Amino acid sequence: MKQIHAYKYRFTPTDEQKQTLARTFGCVRFISNWALRKKTDAFYNEHQRLYYKDLSAMLPDLKKQEASAWLSEVSSVPLQQALRHLDKAFLNFFEGRAKYPRFKKKRARQSATYVGTAFTWRNGCLTLAKMREPLAIRWSRLLPEGAIPSSVTITKDSANRYFVSILVEEEMVHLPSNEQVIGADLGLTSFVVLSDGEIVGNPRFFHKDEKRLAKAQRRHARKRKGSKNREKARLKVARLHARIADRRRDFLHKLSTRLIRENQTICVESLQVKNMVKNGTLSKAISDVGWSEFVAQLSYKADWYGRTLVKIDKWYPSSKRCFECGHVLDSLPLEIRHWDCPECGVHHDRDLNAAKNIVAAGQAVLACGEAVRPGRVLSRLGKPQRSRKLSR
């Protein structure tokens, strides 16, 4: 069975390539914003919905207009792909997976997608349309042998770094199966506590660079708008943000890959991070830790390598429930990291006890084929217990 994988690399464009890419990014941004305005106005003013085929039919007339004739200077493929991406963005919005599409900004991340005949792949060299020289790609890892790219996406981030994402189809390789089952309790004090007793600390990447970032942002705010010094200051801020994001992403990838390789089944809680960041006290720490990205990486890597990821119910009282006897406390404040069970007297570490309960609940989900609901766990008083856990 084959899967489509994306391989991302950094590259350094020549001055000529930078100009071509700058024009392409600008045209893609213009088309995306133009199409978004067209779709929005058509819906609210004429009560009609415009789709990709409608906007694509308008594109040739737009290029013929004197005010937008410069759209013909770049390859037409990235422009068509911008319309397809907008169509997909609206589909995600109507199905509840994303917010309403927004207009693209010049200083934000720029991207352009090339498919079909818009690029040339020959002898390991990639040449885009409207370019004479191949891209100087830093091959941090090799593409699969015999792989033929189906599409190429060029991106430029706020720190003026260029990346190329190459989409290829390759055979799915499953890791040898084993019997290891592990539960992971995500938290803030420690990033994750595993049911086998291993504790992975929270690196706090944003916290470490927060003062440097605040200083750079103050300097940026003092510069005159439109000046070269303001652009230099903006670039310093963007590079600090990129440094924080890169370090966090590297940490999450290494940890998620190790857990997938070592264990057949990984059990985690399905946390609602979007609601949890509304907590004014912990919102910055929750945003810094990257729970959602970590679970997302576990999810797609489990599919790639033939592993099983089990998400238990978010209301399951993993911290308040005694792993030994099943007794559930009426309440357990966040500041209490250790507690003794009033029923059996066992001393518990809050995080380790939660991880053991998570792996037990995950095995129950696998056996029963359904979610473990908190209403099935009763305290001594016979009342269902609920637990909103922000920190473990």
Tell me the catalytic residues: 185, 269, 351
Check if the beta carbon of residue 310 is closer than 8 Å to that of residue 370.
Answer: no
Q: Rounded to an integer, what distance in angstroms lies between the CA atom of residue 28 and that of residue 46?
A: 26
d(CA 115, CA 166): 10
The span from the CA of 311 to the CA of 266, in Å, is 9
Contact 361, 185 (CB under 8 A): no
Residues 6+ apart with CB under 8 A from 142: none
What letter represents residue 111's amino acid? S
The token pair that represents 210 in the structure block: 């927060």
> What is the C-alpha separation between 64 and 72, in angstroms, rounded?
9
Region class of 267: left (phi > 0), else alpha (psi between -120 and 50), else beta = beta
Structure tokens at 92: 């995600």
Q: How far apart are CA 291 and CA 293, in angstroms?
A: 6
CA dist 178 to 60, 75, 146, 260, 261, Å? Answer: 57, 50, 31, 11, 10
DSSP reduced 3-state for 111 = strand
Q: In a 10 Å sphere around its CB, with 0-12 CB exposed, 13-18 middle and 19+ buried, how is residue 281 labelled?
A: exposed
* DSSP symbols for 357-372: HHHHHHHHHHHHSS--
Number of H helices, E strands in the chain: 9, 14
